[in-house]
């Protein structure tokens, strides 16, 4: 059954590597994928992150074999699979709306792959029971999909994909249709299954928090291209482009210009050290994360004046909405317990020492 993944006693498989090499795809004249390359190591979870319409689903469909790419190659476990039909690629997929077969019971859905491959009845029954247990849905075996909640349907969809022991699992926006609490539960559930089965997985999402919490590495996509690929912390701390910077987490973008001595003079009225050298006179945008903005009650050369417009207590942290000179909004997150100046008076904002500050050319 498992062509590439080795099946152990417990029915667990070991994930295999997945390689996408210079894949492009066009719908008519529209290029939905443009020279995409990535490699997911065995047992690794990679998140495909990007705004709606950037080609995430298209890439997943190419990998799964529902769509033939115009150029490039897809390999699973080191073997080219892009000429193989979807069922022979050793890849499992969970669709955004689960795509459970509406006329089959939960158990029949789970056992479908084995039945389609002509497994013996007893074997199908045994594995079906096993995977219903894996996703804790034994009690719902005889229910039809429409008699299950969204989270339960998703568990069945997962069990159905896992039951044929794929080496690679693809998940297309698996949490999008769930409400917030359930979403967290399912993230934990998927992480648990992924660990237990050592699965290689690609998770498509447009929610950066989800990508950060579940994935080992994140690929940020834009307009059919991979804009940046790396561990979540790297992508968050060292975004390579303004697009990635804005897409991953919230941030303050402060326009400024590079002075003759190499320091950056912000339009809001402070001078800060640039994260990397830049030619004098260049117009730049400096990005500072809300948690890296410090508040003071006295001016200094590296601080700019601001006024607090709004303070939102958000559990353990407080989010402040400040207005810098000239009307620019500055967002600040600080611990509720943190000491600081009173918010009614004039304030001066600085950048926390050791903070990761990014700088981009203004027109990028």
Partner 1 sequence: MRRIHAPADALYAAVVGLLGLIALAILVGPVLVVLAVSFTSEPSLRFPPQGFSLRWYAALIDPAQSGHIHEAALNSVTVALRAAGVATLVSGAAALWLRTRSGPAGRAVDLAFMSPLVLPMLSFGLAALILLTTIRVRPTLFWLSAGHLVVVAPYVLRTTAASLSQLGQPLLDSSASLGASRLYTFRRITLPIIAPGLAAGAFLAFMASMDNVPVSLFLSSARTDMLPIRLWGMIESSLDVRVAAASGVLVVSTTLLLLAMNRLVNLSRRISR
Residues that bind ligand ADP (CB under 6 A): 27, 30, 32, 50, 52-58
Question: What phi and psi, each to the nearest 5 degrees, are found at residue 294?
Answer: -105, 155
User: How many CA atoms are closer than 13 Å to the CA of 60, on its beta-carbon side?
Assistant: 27
- Which residue's Cβ lies closest to ligand ADP? 57
CB of 243 to Mg ion, least distance (A): 18
With respect to ligand ADP, which residue has the nearer C-beta, 28 or 279? 28
Of residues 62 and 268, the one with the C-beta less far from ligand ADP: 62
C-beta of residue 70 within 8 angstroms of C-beta of residue 109: no
Q: Which residues bind partner 1 (CB under 8 A)?
A: 61, 64-66, 85-88, 91-93, 95, 97, 99, 101-105, 108, 112-113, 115-117, 144, 160-161, 164
Give least dist CB 301 to partner 1, A.
59
For the segment 19-58, give every residue that binds Mg ion (CB under 5 A): 57
Choose from Mg ion, ligand ADP, partner 1, none: what does 116 bind? Cβ within 5-8 Å by kind: partner 1
Q: Which CB atom, from 93 or from 135, has the smaller least distance to ligand ADP?
A: 93
Closest separation between CB of residue 66 and Mg ion, Å?
13
Place of tokens 């482009």: 241
Q: 234 and 217 in contact (C-beta within 8 Å)? A: no
Paired strand residues for 71: 24
Q: Provide the Cα torsion 221, 222, 225, 231; round to 10°.
A: -30
Residues 6+ apart with CB under 8 A from 164: 1, 2, 92, 113, 114, 117
- Give the shortest CB-21-to-ligand ADP separation in angstroms: 19
- Binding partner of 27, given ligand ADP, Mg ion, partner 1, none, CB within 5-8 angstroms per partner class: ligand ADP
31 alpha-carbon distance from chain centroid: 22
Give the tokens for residue 2: 């498992």
The nearest distance, CB 334 to partner 1, in angstroms, is 45
Buried b (16+ CB within 10 A) or exposed e, 297-311: eeeeeebbbbebeee
**Are the beta carbons of 322 and 240 closer than 8 angstroms?**
no
121 binds, among Mg ion, partner 1, ligand ADP, none (CB under 5 to 8 A by kind): none
Closer to partner 1 by CB, 143 or 356: give it: 143
Residues binding Mg ion: what is the number (CB under 5 A)?
1
Which tokens go with 239?
């975004």
Q: How far is the CB of 56 from ligand ADP (least distance, A)?
A: 3
Which of partner 1, ligand ADP, Mg ion, none is residue 55 near (CB under 5 to 8 Å by kind)?
ligand ADP
Residue 108 has a CB neighbour count (10 Å cut-off) of 18
**Tokens matching residue 225:** 């291209």
Min CB(57)–ligand ADP separation in Å: 3
Between 156 and 186, name the residue whose CB sits nearer to partner 1.
156
If the CB atoms of residues 31 and 238 are measured against Mg ion, the closer one turns out to be 31
SS3 sequence of 286-308:
EEECHHHEEEECCCCCCCEEEEE
Q: In sequence order, which residues have a C-beta less than 8 Å from that of residue 165 and are 6 or more positions away?
A: 1, 2, 5, 7, 11, 13
Chain position carrying tokens 């499992």: 92
Q: Which CB, 11 or 255, lies closer to partner 1?
A: 11
Alpha carbon of residue 96 to chain centroid: 15
Which residue lies nearer to partner 1 by CB, 71 or 117?
A: 117
CB of 57 to Mg ion, least distance (A): 3
Chain residues in the site for Mg ion (CB under 5 A): 57
């Amino acid at each position: 059954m498992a062509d590439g993944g080795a099946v152990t006693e417990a029915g667990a498989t070991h994930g295999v590597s997945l390689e996408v090499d210079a894949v492009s795809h066009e719908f008519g004249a529209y290029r939905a994928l443009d020279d995409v390359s990535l490699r997911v190591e065995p047992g690794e979870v990679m998140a495909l992150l990007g705004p709606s319409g950037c080609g995430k689903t298209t890439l997943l469909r190419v990998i799964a074999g529902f769509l033939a790419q115009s150029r490039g190659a897809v390999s699973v476990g080191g073997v080219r699979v892009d000429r193989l039909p979807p069922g022979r690629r050793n890849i499992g997929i969970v669709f955004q709306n689960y795509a459970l077969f509406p006329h089959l019971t939960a158990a029949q859905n789970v056992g479908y792959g084995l039945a389609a491959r002509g497994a013996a009845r007893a074997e199908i029954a045994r594995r079906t029971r096993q995977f219903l247990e894996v996703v804790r849905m034994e009690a719902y075996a005889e229910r039809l999909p429409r008699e299950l909640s969204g989270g339960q349907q998703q568990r069945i969809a997962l069990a159905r994909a896992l039951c044929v022991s794929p080496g690679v699992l693809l998940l297309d926006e698996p949490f999008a249709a769930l409400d917030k609490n359930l979403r967290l539960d399912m993230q934990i559930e998927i992480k648990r299954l992924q660990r237990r089965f050592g699965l290689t997985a690609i998770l498509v999402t447009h929610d950066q928090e989800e990508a950060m919490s579940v994935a080992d590495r994140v690929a940020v996509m834009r307009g059919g291209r991979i804009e940046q690929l790396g561990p979540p912390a790297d992508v968050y701390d060292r975004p390579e482009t303004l697009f990635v910077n804005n897409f991953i987490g919230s941030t303050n973008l402060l326009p400024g210009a590079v002075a003759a001595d190499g320091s950056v003079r912000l339009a809001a009225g402070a001078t800060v050290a640039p994260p990397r050298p830049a030619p004098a006179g260049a117009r730049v945008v400096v990005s500072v994360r809300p948690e890296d903005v410090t508040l003071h009650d006295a001016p200094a050369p590296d601080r700019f004046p601001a006024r607090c417009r709004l303070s939102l207590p958000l559990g353990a942290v407080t989010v402040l909405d400040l207005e810098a000179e000239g009307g620019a909004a500055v967002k600040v997150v600080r611990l509720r317990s943190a000491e600081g100046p009173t918010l009614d008076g004039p304030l001066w904002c600085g950048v926390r020492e050791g903070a990761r500050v990014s700088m981009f050319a203004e027109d990028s």
